[in-house]
Amino acid sequence: MKKIRPSTRDAILEAAFQTFNQRPGASLGDVAKHAGVGRATLHRHFSSREALMTALAKTAMEELNTAVDAAVVDATSHSEGLRLALTAIIPLANRQWFLAHELVDRDPAIAAAYKRDTEELVAEIEAARAEGTFADDVPTKWIAETYENLIYGAWTMVRDGDATASQAATLAWRTLTDGLMGDQK
């Protein structure tokens, strides 16, 4: 087995994440250029644009699950689990978000994995609700929606240099549970 550049595939994936995040319609030539490889090499690793997209989705979800599992292992409650997961997800949000928009529908396997992840989030929210973390009259769907959107907002803050990942995570969790009201503390 010979591999002059074992990282070629990873370099392409990394460049693809960055490129498609800025411009979802970017050409494979752009991706190859950003990766510092020839366009033909990209096709040697990913036979088609479709294949590259699928690999990106797979990679993003694996990274996400790994990070969340590692972060949640020490949680002492479902509520704390949600808080720790949120913190762990923020640095990966850029990788996760662009696939959620329209990439998921293509590959059935990806769609199934995504659905499974969403159901896990919903289950976790239900469990946290039982701990008193969320009001009874708020739909779980809304909590999940807010959870995900706050992550995106937190990642935006970090990306723009307006907060550290830790600060953004604290703000997001505080917003989710207590809101941002001032006087009626």
Partner DNA sequence: CTCATATGAGACATATATGTCTCATGAAAA
Partner DNA sequence: TTTTCATGAGACATATATGTCTCATATGAG
Q: Does 183 bind a copy of itself (CB under 8 A)?
A: yes
Single out the residue of 9, 121, 5 nearest to residue 56, CA to CA: 9
CB of 97 within 8 A of CB of 41? Answer: no
Query: Of 4-12, 80-88, 110-118, 163-171, which segment contacts DNA by CB under 7 A?
Result: 4-12
Is residue 5 involved in binding DNA (CB under 7 A)? Answer: yes
Q: Is residue 45 close enough to count as binding DNA by CB under 7 A? A: yes
The whole-angstrom separation of Cα 160 and Cα 9 is 28
- When asked if residue 53 is in the footprint of DNA (CB under 7 A), the reply is no
166 forms part of the interface with DNA (CB under 7 A): no
DSSP result, 28-73: HHHHHHHHTS-HHHHHHHSSSHHHHHHHHHHHHHHHHHHHHHHHHT
Question: Residue 157: CB partners within 8 Å, gap ≥ 6?
Answer: 163, 167, 168, 171
Question: CB within 8 A of 120, min separation 6: which ones?
Answer: none
Distance CA 67, CA 155 (A): 15
Residue 23 DSSP one-character state = -
| Binding of residue 39 to DNA (CB under 7 A) | yes
> Using the rule CB under 7 A, is 36 a contact of DNA?
yes
Q: Which does 37 bind (CB under 5 to 8 A by kind): a copy of itself, DNA, none?
A: DNA
93 binds a copy of itself (CB under 8 A): no
Greatest C-alpha distance within the chain: 66
Q: Which of residues 8-27 bind a copy of itself (CB under 8 A)?
A: 22-25
179 binds a copy of itself (CB under 8 A): yes
Binding residue for a copy of itself (CB under 8 A) from 27, 149, 164, 166? 149
Chain residues in the site for DNA (CB under 7 A): 2-5, 8, 27-30, 36-41, 43-45, 47-50
Chain residues in the site for a copy of itself (CB under 8 A): 22-25, 102, 129, 132-136, 138-139, 141-143, 145-146, 148-150, 152-153, 156-157, 162-163, 168, 171, 174-185
